[in-house]
Every structure is written in structure tokens, then in C-alpha cells.
Structure 1
Amino acid sequence: MDIWFSQMDTDNVKTSIRVDKQLFSAQSEYQRIDVFQSQEFGKMIVLDGEIIFSEADEFIYNEMVVHVPMAVHPDVKKVLIIGGGDGGVARTCIEYPEIVSIDVVEPDEMFIQVSREFFPETAKGFDDPRVKITNADGLRFLRNRRNEYDLIINDSTDPFGHTEGLFTKEFYGSCYRALKEDGIMVYQHGSPFYDEDEIAFRAMHRKVYRSFPISRVYQASIPTCPAGYWMFGFASKKYHPLTDFDPERWNKRGIRTWYYTTNLHTGAFMLPKYVEDLLEEEEDKI
């Protein structure tokens, strides 16, 4: 008997993947957590019915949220990861020896436990002594932080439910205050392809554009994301992702990647016309 997992991308579109079996299913305090084994994507973790990552394509997301800012900022010492319960962002960060500390703030302890059990290669970043995990709400954690971090990565899920507070004007303002005077914030920006996602996409850019002097959006192709097309935000107090980008410095590190390259870095900020139009329309409102 064929078993299929279907993710509803919109009311009219769904993505279906044949799965061999369901490895885990439980309701945490915050969300429904499921793990499936598939032929095409390996193991997949699903939160409230939406694929968060799969073994086959998790490297794309994690490389793009870490290597892009690390190739721009010249001296990252202290990193904050909001969310990040699967450990993939932390695992990518520990490739940089100059990073002194990595705070991971993930409220859902069960999500971390499931990731450790079923995705040990992704979650192994948690075992690095520089990583400290705090089970707390990201916005509450940020409220009393001032001038503390060089890099903040918002690795939370969609702007609904228990993570809704991580996509508000207050959250971005809190990130601004928690960053040092030359700090960078990177965040998942969603996909604007489907009409029902466009409103959240527009609102996110408008709020960040108001909060930071430098705000840019970049892209990646991730098969398990809606429309296979995902976007990220780059916001900074000082550094521009292209004019302050130092490809020679980054290439000297010799970090092995499967997706990110310094050529791709530049190309990722070259957006389709319809996306440029959406962003410019929101900027013109300010």
C-alpha cells in the first residue's frame, strides 16, 4: 500500500511525497511533531503539517543563513539563533573557529529531543562547547539584551501560532537593540509566489526596512519549501551584503559546502522582477 504525506501549500495546491513509514508522532506543548522516512528526501521532520526540513535539502537553508552573513561581517564572535531546534544552523556556525559563543533559544524541548534522536548529523552542532541551549520564548529572551551579539539568525518557523511574536515590529526592534553597532540579522523571509503568502512577505519586509538602515532580500531554491522557492532577509546596522562582501577572505577558510559559493552569494541578491516590485512597493510606503 502506498503511503503519501501531503503538505497544503495553499487551499488549491499541495505537495505530496511518498513515504515508507512514520517514525515518530507526538503533540508537544507548542506543536505537532512528525518524522517520516521517504525514498526521495530521506527522513523529514514535519511541524503542524508543514515540512521543516529533510535530510536531502537541509544543507541549502543552513548554508544560506550562515555563510552569507559570515562572508560579510569581518569579526563575528557572538551569535544568537532564535529557534534552531533541529541544530542545523548551530552545526554550520561551529565551522567558524573565531565564533566564541552560540546561544540557541528554542522554546520546544521536545523538538530538540526529536532532532537529536532522528537527525543526529544535523543536531550534532548542539554538542559543541560553544553552544548554549535555552528553552525560552525568543522575544522574551531578547527584551533585556543590549549591544550583545554580532549576528542574530531568526530560524523560527512560519509567522503563526507560538512563533508569531518573532515576526513583529517589536521583535525586529529588539533584535536591533541586541546587536552590536555593526551587527547583522538574518531571517527566513518565506516565499512570495503564492498569493496567500504575499501579505506576510510584504509585512515582514516593511517592518524590517523600518527597523534597520540596511535591509536586503536574497533567495535560494529549496525543493521541500512551498513552490520550491525560498527567501531570506539580511538586515544590518552597518554592512551591506554586496558592497561589504569579501569573497577572497571567505574562500581562504576552505569551508566545504554543497550549495553556497561566493559566486552564488552575489547572484542570490539578484531577484526576479515581481519580487523587486513587491519589495519596492513596501519601501515606498515608508
Structure 2
Amino acid sequence: KYIPSVAQGLLSERVNCRFQDGVEYVRTTDRRYDVIIIDSTDPVSVGEGLFTREFYQNCANLLKRPGVLVNQSESPAWQPELVQRIARKLQTIFSGVHFYQAHIPTYPSGHWLFGFASNELHPLNDFQEARYRKAALSLRYYNDAIHRGAFALPTFVQELVNAT
């Protein structure tokens, strides 16, 4: 309604947006999803539950096979300890956890991480470039090179997300 240029994808019949308590929803629903994208608040106050191992496990339980969980993973420059905690929690649940980055000027530091967690899919090895090109999407930001490049992390970020 307020920024339609960034919300066009939400109009697809394939998208199911839930505007409610996410912790409660994933604990009680019996629906299954191909992809769960968590666009969460910061992990303070009522948002803390969206960053717990229990919440991530409940999300994993709702994924079809193959399925993917994508989550906000905060700023590696401003919140390195939080990034590590998120990585460790996801790594105890999913066999494949990969992080990618985006530059979002309106977020603290402008450098933001997102988790890509799956037990079956790899974000680069399973990327279907021919299918993407055939779709001929008219996108202003995303393209196949951005997809690959987003997973190329600076050394300090690799050290954060790979620390055990």
C-alpha cells in the first residue's frame, strides 16, 4: 500500500503472507511450505522468540522436501555475536547452512546477512541458471551474477558464520 514498488512479488498467488505472531504460528500450524522467509524484527522484546533454536526447528518441521528456510541474520559489523548465535542454531538443525549478503542502506551499517538453510538444496550448486534466464523476469536488482556474488562473503563474515 505505502511502497508498492518493493512489494509487487507479494501479489503472487504462490505467496502466503502471515501477519501474526510467527512463533505461535509455526508451533501450531499443520501447513507445509516449500520456502519459509522470515522477515523479522530485531531480536529484542517480543521479537526474541523469532531467533530461538525452537523457532528455527519448528520452521524446519514445516518445510516440504526439498525445502528452504531464509532468515534475517542481522549486521555482521554491528552485531557479530548475534550473527554467530544465529549461525550456530541453524547449523544444529540443517545440514546445509549458507549465508548471503545484501546492501540495504536503510539498515544499520547497510551490510546485512541472510541465512539460507536446507537439508537438501545448495544455493549455488542447485541454482538453475537456464531456468532463471528462460523466465525472463524484469527485475531491477536481482540477476544471476548477484545471486552468485551474494554468497561470496568477506573473510571476517566467513569466520563469524563458520566458527564452532
* TM-score when normalising by structure 1: 0.53
Q: Structure 2 residue aligned with 1:175, among 11, 34, 59?
A: 59
> How far does the alpha carbon of each residue in 1:118-175 deviate from its partner, in whole angstroms, 9 at most, with x for none?
xxxxxxxxxxxxxxxxxx3111111133571111000111111212111100000000
> Is residue 162 from structure 1 mapped to residue 46 from structure 2 by the alignment?
yes
* Counterpart-to-counterpart distance in 2, 1:151 and 1:94: 16
* Counterpart-to-counterpart distance in 2, 1:242 and 1:147: 28
* Unmatched runs of 5 consecutive residues or more in structure 1: 1-42, 44-54, 60-87, 107-135
* Counterpart-to-counterpart distance in 2, 1:257 and 1:140: 34
Question: Contact 2:39/2:71 (CA < 8 Å) preserved in 1?
Answer: yes
Q: Structure 2 residue aligned with 1:199, among 81, 85, 106?
A: 81
* Larger-gyration structure (1/2): 1
Question: Contact 2:10/2:17 (CA < 8 Å) preserved in 1?
Answer: no
Secondary structure, in 3 states, of the residue corresponding to 1:217? strand
* Counterpart-to-counterpart distance in 1, 2:80 and 2:162: 14
Code of the residue aligned with 1:242 in structure 2: it is: L
Q: Structure 1 residue aligned with 2:72, among 178, 188, 200?
A: 188
Question: Contact 1:147/1:180 (CA < 8 Å) preserved in 2?
Answer: no
Equivalent residue, structure 1, for 2:117 = 235
- Identity %, equivalent residues: 38
> Is residue 262 from structure 1 mapped to residue 125 from structure 2 by the alignment?
no
* TM-score when normalising by structure 2: 0.90
> How far does the alpha carbon of each residue in 1:176-203 deviate from its partner, in whole angstroms, 9 at most, with x for none?
1011121111111111112xx1121111
Higher relative contact order, chain-length normalized (CA < 8 Å, sep 6+): 2
* Unmatched runs of 5 consecutive residues or more in structure 2: none
> How far does the alpha carbon of each residue in 1:237-257 deviate from its partner, in whole angstroms, 9 at most, with x for none?
211000000111012112211
* Counterpart-to-counterpart distance in 2, 1:94 and 1:239: 26
* Counterpart-to-counterpart distance in 2, 1:227 and 1:277: 19
Question: Contact 1:142/1:174 (CA < 8 Å) preserved in 2?
Answer: yes
Deviation at 1:93, TM superposition (A): 4.5
* Counterpart-to-counterpart distance in 1, 2:16 and 2:140: 25
> Is residue 244 from structure 1 mapped to residue 161 from structure 2 by the alignment?
no
**More strand by percentage:** 1
* Counterpart-to-counterpart distance in 2, 1:274 and 1:171: 27
* Counterpart-to-counterpart distance in 2, 1:267 and 1:192: 17
* Counterpart-to-counterpart distance in 2, 1:162 and 1:103: 22
**Number of residue equivalences:** 162
Equivalent residue, structure 1, for 2:154 = 272
Equivalent residue, structure 2, for 1:68 = none
